[in-house]
Chain A
């Protein structure tokens, strides 16, 4: 008794298998992860870069305020010194 050979499934039938539960969940999950991982990695790198820029800007700001304040303080001290010398004279 020879049974007729089952016809080969077409590509849409193969695809339809993937979309049947529970496989569809796995396909959806893999798709989500394959998109999310690169996006998250780009975002992480961007944040790291921004943090580094911010830290650098902070250091520069602290330095600039120190120099500006230091010079202003120095000038004030000089003026006070001159004032004291004038009083002595």
Chain B
């Protein structure tokens, strides 16, 4: 039974390009006032990139950035009140990030506003990856990127595109802007 379980884990890891398992967070959707859940893997990611315009400078930057990616997964939950998610929700993600190849490159903890942000990077394997966990009392964001990514370019895009625009306003958490 154990062998079968390990084999299943190996196969699913290979199939999903070693994306983090974030399914346990889905139950938080019922408690959250705003939820943004993006799952882009394989063909969907390629289709999305294909539709990015090369004429629009911002979209062209994103197109270049995501060219070598295999998957992009984002889950954001915004809550009305504090304590809607537990530390265990984050711990199970951290456990996955303790596997070989992953290393924690930044960890920021703020006692003042109860914010905790961690950035993990996967190196040593072809492809690599990035994971970001941002947790504050009323918001939880988990980002997992599978594939080679330029952190500086991504951060630059975050700096220039940080202000939420048009169509995505509904799903974009707004309270984060005050901190930025």
Contact = CB atoms under 8 A, between A and B. Distances in A.
Contacts of A77: 180
B49 interface: yes
Interface string A45-82: 00000100111011111111111111111111111001
Chain A interface bracket (under 10, 10 to 19, 20 to 34, 35 or more): 20 to 34
Given A67-B36, A67-B74, 14 more contacts: A57-B40, A61-B66, A63-B36, A63-B172, A64-B74, A66-B158, A66-B164, A68-B158, A69-B155, A69-B161, A71-B134, A71-B143, A73-B155, A73-B156
Interface residues of B, number: 47
B35 interface: no
B162 A57 contact: no
A68 B141 CA distance: 9
Interface of B is mostly: mixed
Contacts of B54: none
A36 B171 CA distance: 43
A66 B145 CA distance: 13
A73 B154 CA distance: 8
A69 B162 contact: yes
B167 interface: yes
B156 A57 contact: no
Contacts of A61: 38, 40, 45, 48-49, 52, 62, 66, 72
Interface in B144-174: 145, 151, 154-159, 161-162, 164, 167-168, 171-172
A71 B117 contact: yes
Contact of B159 (A59, A67, A69, A82): A69
Contact of B44 (A57, A67, A71): A57
A30 to B, nearest CB: 38
B48 A66 contact: no
Contact of B162 (A58, A60, A73, A75): A73
Contacts of B31: none
